[in-house]
Amino acid sequence: MADEELAGQADRSEVFSAEDYAAESMAADMDPWIVFDARKTPRAEFNAWLETNRPSQVLRYGDEEGGSGPVGWISVRGPDSWKDMADVEGLQESWETLLNSGRSITFHTIKELALNHNVLVGKWLMHLDTGFKVDRAWECIARSTVDGKISSAKVSPRNPKSDEKHVICAYNRNFTDEEEVMRLDAAIRAAGVKCVLYYKPDVYSYLGIYRKNRWKLCPTIYESMFDLESVPRRSHIINRVTNLEVT
């Protein structure tokens, strides 16, 4: 799975370009991950793993005094986590062909590429301040993932050199299946997370389409606001797919 969106913070949007966000994301993907895989590791070990690897305490670039190296992501894979069979190389070749064709770059042309190359995974994104907020939200998501209610999830570690927020990503198989996307939103809410969520298809990440991209595309296609006043309490989903990027 690609990603992710370390972007999303308005305080950096004036100085960071889409290319910067893409490079930052690629660097995190390539660095070592801390992973709990429920398919391989006994559930009895999960609580200790979670306590040891709280995102507010794990440093993105490691602890030189402690001898630890950089950490790209902290990740949990659920008991039903799947292997992504995306044809990323074919996608990127078709992307270059599309760019050279003179056709408009829109959500619909990108969706066409995604369908042709089976690049259908997507994720709900949560941006949270370091400390108790991100640790609590991550615990909720991670436990729900180990319980099999969410397929897989990850969270960015703390970067003490930056004021950027942590990002949590919770994944589903097919961004074109709206019912599936909404079921994942419901699972996140049932886990106890109430912050704003943004949904991004992985295809945007593989193609380097982040905020402030030159096509003025909004790389998130849904927004979920938790309605505290509704009975029963539930999300209010906004479909942003036709919107231009909001800067």
Cβ neighbours for 240, distance < 8 A, ≥ 6 positions apart:
218, 220, 221, 222, 223
Q: Provide the pLDDT for residue 1.
A: 57
pLDDT tens sequence across 46-92: 999 999 999 999 999 987 666 678 999 999 999 999 888 999 999 99
- List strands edge to edge, sheet with 197-201: 33-37, 73-77, 152-155, 166-172, 122-128, 197-201, 222-227, 234-239
Per CATH, domain 10-84+119-239 is 3.30.70.1450 = no
E strand map for the chain: 33-37, 73-77, 122-128, 152-155, 166-172, 197-201, 222-227, 234-239
∠ CA 100-106-108, rounded to 5°? 110
Enumerate residue ranges in the chain where pLDDT < 70. 1-18, 21-22, 64-67, 229-233, 242-247
Q: Provide the pLDDT for residue 4.
A: 52
